[in-house]
Amino acid sequence: MNNPTGESKDVFTVCKQNVEKFFTEIKKSTPRYQQSVATLQQDYVDAWKNVINSAITLEQEYAKKTGLNIDVPEATLKTIRDITEQAIKAYEDQNKIALEVAEETTKAFNVFNESAKSFASLNRNIMESMMSAFQQKSKT
Confidence at residue 76, expressed as pLDDT on a 0 to 100 scale = 97
Q: Which pLDDT tens digit goes with each residue over 77-115?
A: 999 999 999 999 999 999 999 999 999 999 999 999 999
Confidence at residue 7, expressed as pLDDT on a 0 to 100 scale = 80
Confidence at residue 4, expressed as pLDDT on a 0 to 100 scale = 56
Confidence at residue 3, expressed as pLDDT on a 0 to 100 scale = 59
Q: Is 71 helix (H, G, I), strand (E, B) or coil?
A: coil
Whether the Cβ atoms of residue 3 and residue 9 lie closer than 8 Å to each other: yes
Confidence of residue 2 (pLDDT cuts 50, 70, 90): very low
Confidence at residue 8, expressed as pLDDT on a 0 to 100 scale = 83
Where do the structural domains in the chain lie, given as residue ranges? 1-71, 72-140
Whether the Cβ atoms of residue 27 and residue 34 lie closer than 8 Å to each other: no
